[in-house]
Structure 1
Amino acid sequence: MRTNKRTVWFLTLMSLVAVISIYYIKEKAPMPFDGVKIFSSDMTETAEKPKKGSSDKQTPVFATSYVFEEMRMAVRDERSKIQGQLDAKMTSPDSTAEEKNEAFNEMAELTKRDSAEALLELQIKALGYPEAFVRTENGDVQVTVLSTEGHSAKLADEITQYVLASWDHAKRVQVDFTGNQ
């Protein structure tokens, strides 16, 4: 296969840009284990040193964030299975036009729910919470929030009112707090 030199250079530069952009994205949200530190010449740099004057109590923000990611992955897996079933129904030659239309409408509703949940998560994070997870089902909205301030009826009421005002299809809102208390 003959390729043009410009094409090869273009692909090389694009892959380099992709790698560098991923590196900078990861650098802004560092993980507790950084693979680059393995290759450092001084092994004492890899151990975390406590700051002077800091308390012994540490907050596991990364561990709790993993829980939120696991919850998102579980919902994403469940919905991708439903999406696959609806896709199969739409492409099946045995399905009637009404069944295909119904499957298409359900797929559109799934997409709408996903985007509404993501938007609510971003809005709740904008209220000042470090992390939030929103799941909607049949008008019920379940919100899980990472809070270092602890549990409070006032905070739960604030989030509930915000969700009810932001999303028209919300009938009942449940707010759970996780994190340090």
Structure 2
Amino acid sequence: MKVKKRTVWFLTLVCLTAVISVYYLFEKPGDFSFTTIFTDDSLDGAILTGVDEAETTQTDSYAFEEFRLEMSNERSQLREQLTQKMASDEYTAEEKSAAFDEMNALIEQESNEAMLEMLVKSLGYSDALVRIDDKKVNVTVMSEEMSKQQANEIVHLVMTELDSSIQVSVDNSPKYY
């Protein structure tokens, strides 16, 4: 069956329009009004935020991202060294196997950190940084203040996901690392 490109594009456009229309029809009645699109009065009630408010949040988040990037670069170098070791003919089978096991442990550590960061963020924090070193887990969250109950909730979450014999430390200061 041969279908023209113009027909496919037209059907795609019609389907997209239908989906968007259904979405706006079943949305809460007070949230959207078709008349606000076409009037200049819609910006009168808008509140524009200044740059200063956004800078403080992004600065802390930027520090987290910078640390994640540094950790990623270090781990990439280690992963490359291990890959070269496994591919080299200079090493014995036991050494290659140990390098393979170390690479698997590194991958598991990275995935555990990413999973824990997502779980901590799901508790309502805007950003979280998790670092796992052997049997010690450091969790740093972006928060103004943290109660003991919130810290205990994070510790419990980490211990249930990983292992109950690990040591967990929780901090809300982005300068902790």
How much does 1:49 deviate? 5.2
Letter in 2 for 1:108: N
Q: CA RMSD in A?
A: 2.1
Q: For structure 2, which runs of at least 5 residues remain unmatched after alignment?
A: 1-46
Q: For structure 1, which runs of at least 5 residues remain unmatched after alignment?
A: 1-47, 52-56
- 1:152 correspondence with 2:153: no
Are the counterparts in 2 of residues 140 and 170 from structure 1 also a CA contact under 8 Å? no
- Residue 80 of structure 1 is aligned with which of 76, 95, 112? 76
- 1:134 correspondence with 2:125: no
TM-score by length of 1: 0.64
Per-residue CA deviations over 1:66-121 (Å, capped at 9, x if unaligned) read 01101101111111121122112111111000000110011011001101110000
2:107 corresponds to = 111
Q: 2-side partners of 1:121 and 1:170: how far apart?
A: 20
Q: 2-side partners of 1:116 and 1:50: how far apart?
A: 37
Aligned residues: 126
Q: 2-side partners of 1:169 and 1:133: how far apart?
A: 20
- 1:101 correspondence with 2:97: yes
Q: Tell me the SS of whatever aligns to 1:173.
A: strand
Larger radius of gyration: 2
2:159 corresponds to = 164
Q: 2-side partners of 1:176 and 1:99: how far apart?
A: 39
How much does 1:152 deviate? 2.2
Q: 1-side partners of 2:96 and 2:48: how far apart?
A: 60
In structure 2, the CA distance between the partners of 1:96 and 1:109, relative to structure 1 (3 Å rule), is same
Q: Tell me the SS of whatever aligns to 2:113.
A: helix
TM-score by length of 2: 0.65
What is the percentage of aligned positions where both structures have the same residue? 40
